C-alpha cells in the first residue's frame, strides 16, 4: 500500500510527488497519457519566478526527473474510480488494475476545449491541431491561423510566427485575455494579422484543411481565409466525471476546493487546474501541489 496516490502527472501532480517524497511518504503518480501535463505544449515560459525563460517541455522534464530522483513512482493508466474505505482507498484503472493507498490527490488538470463546429473531428490531424509546439513544424513556411485570446493562443501565435509565412490570430473579442507583453510582441510582427471580434464558423478542405470561414460578431461579415492549419487554443475544460460521486464538483465540472486543497471528502485532496480557483497558472499549479501533498501527509499522520 502506498501512502499517497496522485492522479495526474502535470505540474501540480509532480510537485505533489516531490513534496510527499521529501516528507518521507511513499508516492505513486498515475497518468493516463504522457507526464508533464498541459505545459509541455507551451513553447516559452517567461512567468515562472526565478526562471526567466524555459520551454514547457524542458520544465516538465526537469520536474519529472526531480520527482523520480526522490523516489516517486509513475505508472500509466486511466483512473476510472476511487473507492473510499476510510483508512484504505482503492484507485481503479481502465486496465483493470487496483492500487491501494491512504490518501489520494486528484491533479487531473483539464483537456483542450473544442470549437464544436462541423468537420472539426474529421480534420484533426489534417490541419486542425490543439498543440502548436507539437505540430507547428509540419506547416513551416505555410499560412496558418490560431484561434483564441488567452496565454496559450498568444504563445502559439508567437511560436508559429517564427516558422510560418503568415499567422492569423482570430479572437472573439477586441481585448486579449492573455498577457499584454505577448500581445505587444505580436503587434510588432509583420507576418501576424489580428482578426478580432470574430469566430471561426466553417472549416473547408477536401482531405486536408484548405481554408476557414471567419464571421465578424458585430457586423456578420464573412471572410474566407486560406490556411493550411488552424491551431485551436480556446481554453480547457476539466475531466472529472470519474470522481463525480466521490467529491463535490461545481456546475462546470471542477472539483470544489479552496486554497487548502481539501475536497468535500476526507483524505481526498486536489491540486492544479482541475479544482475551482481564480488563477490557473504554472505557479498556482505548483503551489497547489505543495499544499495538497502537505495536507495529505498531515492527514496520514493523524490516521
Ligand atoms: P484561457 O485563458 O481560458 O483562454 C481561452 C481563450 O479562448 C479566451 O480568450 C476565450 O475568449 C477564448 N474562447 C473560449 N471559448 C471559446 C469559443 N468557444 N470560441 C472562441 N473562443 C473561445 O485558456 P488558455 O489560453 O489555454 O490558458 C489556460 C490557462 O493556462 C490560463 O490560466 C493561462 O493563463 C494559463 N497559461 C499559462 C501560461 C504561462 O504561464 N506561461 C501559458 C499558457 C497558458 P474570451 O477571452 O472571450 O473568454
The CATH number assigned to the domain with range 2-111+236-302 reads 3.50.50.60
CB 293 within 8 A of CB 105: yes
pLDDT at 36: 96
Three cell numbers, residue 135: 505540430
| Whole-prediction pTM | 0.84
pLDDT in tens, 67-115: 999 999 999 999 999 999 888 999 999 999 999 999 999 999 998 999 9
Residue in 75, 84, 131, 239 annotated catalytic: 131
Specify the pLDDT at position 97. Answer: 96
Testing ligand 1's pocket by substitution, the residue of 114, 234, 284 carrying the most ligand atoms inside 8 A of its CB is 234
- Paired with 194 in beta bridges are 169
Instruction: Collect all residues with Cβ–Cβ distance below 8 Å to 272 and sequence separation of at least 6.
Output: 8, 10, 11, 12, 13, 37, 107, 108, 109, 280, 284, 285, 288, 289
Return the percentage of the chain with pLDDT > 70, whole number. 100
Does the pLDDT value for residue 133 go beyond 90?
Answer: no
Rounded to the nearest 10 degrees, how much is the dihedral formed by the CA atoms of 253, 109, 178, 153?
Answer: -100
Is the pLDDT score of 42 beyond 90? Answer: no
Does residue 41 have a pLDDT over 90?
Answer: no
Question: Does position 244 have pLDDT exceeding 90, yes or no?
Answer: yes
**Using an 8 Å Cβ cutoff, are 127 and 135 in contact?**
no
274 labelled catalytic: no
Give the residue, out of 114, 149, 238, 282, with the most ligand 1 atoms within 8 A of its beta carbon, to mutate for a pocket test: 149
Predicted pLDDT of residue 134? 85
Gap between the Cα atoms of 10 and 35, Å rounded: 6
Q: What's the topology of domain 120-232?
A: FAD/NAD(P)-binding domain (3.50.50)
Residues with CB under 6 A from ligand 1: 42, 45, 47, 113, 148-153, 155, 172-173, 177-178, 199, 233-236, 280-282
Q: Is 131 a catalytic residue?
A: yes
C-alpha 209/C-alpha 182 separation (Å) is 27
Q: Which residues contact 72 (CB under 8 A, 6 or more apart)?
A: 14, 17, 18, 20, 21, 27, 28, 29
Locate CATH 3.50.50.60 in the chain.
2-111+236-302, 120-232
DSSP label of 291: H
Per-residue pLDDT at 142 exceeds 90 = yes
pLDDT tens digit sequence for 175-214: 999 999 999 999 999 999 999 999 999 999 999 999 999 9
Amino acid at each position: 500500500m502506498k501512502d499517497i496516490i496522485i492522479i495526474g502527472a502535470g505540474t501540480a501532480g509532480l510537485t505533489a510527488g516531490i513534496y510527499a517524497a521529501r516528507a518521507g511518504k511513499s508516492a505513486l503518480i498515475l497518468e493516463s497519457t504522457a507526464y508533464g501535463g498541459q505545459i509541455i505544449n507551451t513553447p516559452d515560459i517567461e512567468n515562472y519566478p526565478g526562471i526567466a525563460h524555459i520551454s514547457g517541455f524542458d520544465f516538465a522534464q526537469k520536474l519529472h526527473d526531480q520527482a523520480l530522483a526522490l523516489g516517486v513512482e509513475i505508472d500509466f493508466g486511466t483512473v476510472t474510480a476511487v473507492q473510499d474505505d476510510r483508512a484504505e482507498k482503492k484507485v481503479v484503472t481502465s486496465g483493470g488494475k487496483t492500487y491501494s493507498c491512504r490518501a489520494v490527490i486528484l491533479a487531473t488538470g483539464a483537456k483542450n476545449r473544442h470549437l464544436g463546429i462541423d468537420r472539426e473531428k474529421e480534420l484533426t490531424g489534417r490541419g486542425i491541431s490543439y498543440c502548436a509546439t507539437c505540430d507547428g513544424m509540419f506547416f513551416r513556411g505555410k499560412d496558418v491561423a490560431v484561434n483564441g485570446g488567452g496565454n496559450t493562443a498568444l504563445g502559439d501565435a508567437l511560436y508559429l510566427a517564427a516558422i510560418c509565412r503568415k499567422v492569423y490570430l482570430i479572437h472573439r473579442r477586441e481585448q486579449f485575455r492573455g498577457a499584454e507583453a505577448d500581445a505587444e510582441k505580436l503587434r510588432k510582427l509583420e507576418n501576424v494579422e489580428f482578426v478580432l471580434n470574430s469566430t471561426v464558423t466553417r472549416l473547408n478542405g477536401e482531405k486536408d484543411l484548405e481554408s476557414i470561414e471567419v464571421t465578424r460578431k458585430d457586423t456578420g461579415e464573412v471572410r474566407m481565409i486560406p490556411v493550411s492549419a488552424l491551431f485551436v487554443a480556446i481554453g480547457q475544460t476539466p475531466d472529472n466525471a470519474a470522481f463525480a460521486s466521490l467529491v463535490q464538483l461545481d456546475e462546470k465540472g471542477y472539483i470544489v476546493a479552496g486554497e487548502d486543497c481539501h475536497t468535500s471528502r476526507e483524505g481526498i485532496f486536489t491540486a492544479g487546474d482541475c479544482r475551482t480557483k481564480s488563477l490557473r497558472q504554472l505557479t498556482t499549479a505548483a503551489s497547489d501541489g505543495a499544499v495538497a501533498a502537505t495536507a495529505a501527509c498531515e492527514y496520514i499522520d493523524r490516521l
